[in-house]
């Protein structure tokens, strides 16, 4: 019997989701998935994806199982093809992937998913890429996934090269020097209606604010880098809220408009502002979905979670510390 590449059980990897403090929205190259603006994120410990990849001789088609359901994904095939090309491999792969949080509802499942896929597929094919190469590979699946290769505070660069080889993420600061908590207020468990990819293409083509979004990104990134370098939490939080609201202004002025918020989202934003008026340093950020992510010091997380849980429209909360980068769980596990 043929032995599959990477051993009979292939390779498995775990990657954690991330949320952007300075947001990515818009591409400078759609085919290579190169972002038009840089971004800065934090990796989250509580939200992760486990992915196993096995290259199986004789398998006729690539198989992708997401949360135990057979799924079609052109992007997964795209990443597998890049890995095969690099490894000089023709075998099809069996990919099984599990998220420990709701998929496709603005909790960045594509970030953790493609980071885990890049690590697992490369190892299963016998490749030993650098973390930078893994970040570039993960980016081909999803822009935000390039950041989930690293833990803690991470910056993604747009680069300038036409081939996108300088569009990768890099670590900015490790978790230890500056622990932070993120309380996720889940206001809907339904998968989002417009994917980030389609949404950002629409914003680029139709929002009159898009050029301003791209023009002001460099300043926001520089400010956030400075906030992180000085461990200045109010500055980090204020900037994160600003970048989030600027992104949503761009979404709202796209045609058709992208309205990712529901009533619970807005109520949770107000809860965060009320807590701030009471003297608690807490700030929100929201992505392409209805969930509100509140940033605060670990000592305030329980209080913030309680206030958000009591907010009308909030179904549940989940608190996360900052998490590690993507890692291999062992090829023969
Ligand atoms: C709002 O990384 O999901 O979460 O590259 O098309 O897969 P693609 O987009 P994706 O977009 C993330 C958008 C965001 C902001 C962010 O994470 O920076």
What is the C-alpha to C-alpha distance for residues 158 and 130, in angstroms, rounded to an integer? 19
Tokens encoding 32? 């290579």
Is the pLDDT confidence value at 268 over 60? yes
CA of 231 to the centre of ligand 1 (A): 25
pLDDT for 50 equals: 97
User: Which ligand 1 atom sits closest to the C-alpha of 143?
Assistant: 5
Which residues have CB under 8 Å from 207's CB, separation 6+? 213, 250, 251, 253, 254, 255
CA of 327 to the centre of ligand 1 (A): 21
pLDDT tens for each residue of 234-251: 999 999 999 999 999 999
Crossing angle of helices 233-252 and 196-206, in 10° steps, is 70
pLDDT tens for each residue of 284-313: 999 999 999 999 999 999 999 999 999 999
Rounded to whole angstroms, what are the CA distances from 250 to 24, 144, 169, 190, 274? 12, 18, 24, 23, 25
What is the C-alpha to C-alpha distance for residues 142 and 24, in angstroms, rounded to an integer? 11
Say whether 156 sits in a helix, a strand or coil: strand
What is the C-alpha to C-alpha distance for residues 313 and 282, in angstroms, rounded to an integer? 19
User: What average pLDDT score do residues 139-154 get?
Assistant: 98
Q: Is 107 in the pocket of ligand 1 (CB under 6 A)?
A: no
CA of 252 to the centre of ligand 1 (A): 16
Strand-pair category, 92-99 with 63-66: parallel
Q: ω into residue 9 within 30 of 0, thus cis?
A: no
User: What average pLDDT score do residues 88-112 get?
Assistant: 84
Is the pLDDT confidence value at 162 over 50? yes
Largest pairwise CA distance in the chain: 68
Mutation test residue for ligand 1: of 18, 37, 108, 157, the one with most atoms within 8 Å of CB: 108
Q: Is 125 in the pocket of ligand 1 (CB under 6 A)?
A: no
Mutation test residue for ligand 1: of 15, 21, 23, 24, the one with most atoms within 8 Å of CB: 24
Strand-pair category, 316-320 with 181-186: antiparallel
For the chain, what's the residue count? 333
- All domains in the chain, ordered by first residue: 7-176 (3.30.230.10), 181-321 (3.30.70.890)
The residue whose CA is least distant from atom 7 of ligand 1 is: 142
User: Which ligand 1 atom sits closest to the C-alpha of 156?
Assistant: 18
Q: Is 20 in the pocket of ligand 1 (CB under 6 A)?
A: yes
The residue whose CA is least distant from atom 4 of ligand 1 is: 287
Contact 151, 43 (CB under 8 A): yes
pLDDT tens for each residue of 17-62: 999 999 999 999 999 999 999 999 999 999 999 999 999 999 999 9
């Amino acid at each position: 019997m043929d032995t599959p590449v990477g051993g009979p059980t292939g390779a498995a990897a775990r990657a954690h989701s991330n949320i952007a403090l300075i947001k990515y929205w818009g591409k400078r190259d759609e085919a290579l998935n190169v972002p038009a603006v840089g971004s800065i994120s934090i990796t989250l410990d509580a939200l992760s994806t486990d992915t196993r990849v096995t290259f199986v001789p004789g398998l006729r088609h690539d198989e992708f199982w997401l949360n135990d359901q057979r799924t079609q994904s052109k992007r997964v095939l795209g990443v597998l093809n890049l890995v095969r090309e690099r490894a000089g491999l023709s075998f099809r792969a069996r990919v099984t992937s599990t998220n420990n949080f709701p998929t496709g509802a603005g909790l960045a499942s594509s970030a953790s998913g493609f980071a885990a896929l890049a690590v697992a597929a490369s190892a299963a094919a016998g490749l030993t890429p650098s973390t930078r190469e893994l970040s570039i590979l993960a980016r081909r699946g999803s822009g935000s996934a390039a950041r989930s290769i690293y833990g803690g505070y991470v910056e993604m660069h747009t680069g300038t090269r036409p081939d996108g080889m300088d569009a990768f993420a890099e670590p900015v600061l490790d978790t230890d020097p500056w622990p932070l908590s993120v309380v996720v207020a889940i206001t809907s468990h339904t998968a989002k209606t417009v994917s980030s990819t389609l949404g950002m293409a629409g914003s680029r083509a139709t929002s009159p604010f898009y050029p301003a979004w791209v023009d002001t990104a460099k300043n926001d990134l520089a400010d956030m880098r400075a906030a992180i370098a000085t461990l200045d939490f109010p500055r980090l939080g204020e900037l994160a809220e600003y970048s989030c609201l600027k992104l949503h202004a761009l979404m709202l002025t796209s045609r058709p408009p992208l309205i990712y918020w529901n009533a619970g989202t807005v109520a949770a934003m107000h809860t965060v502002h009320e807590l701030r008026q009471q003297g608690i340093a807490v700030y929100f950020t929201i992505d392409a979905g209805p969930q509100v992510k509140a940033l605060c010091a670990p000592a305030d997380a329980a209080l913030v979670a309680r206030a958000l849980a009591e907010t009308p429209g909030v179904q549940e909360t989940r608190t996360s510390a900052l998490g590690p980068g993507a890692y291999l769980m062992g090829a023969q596990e």
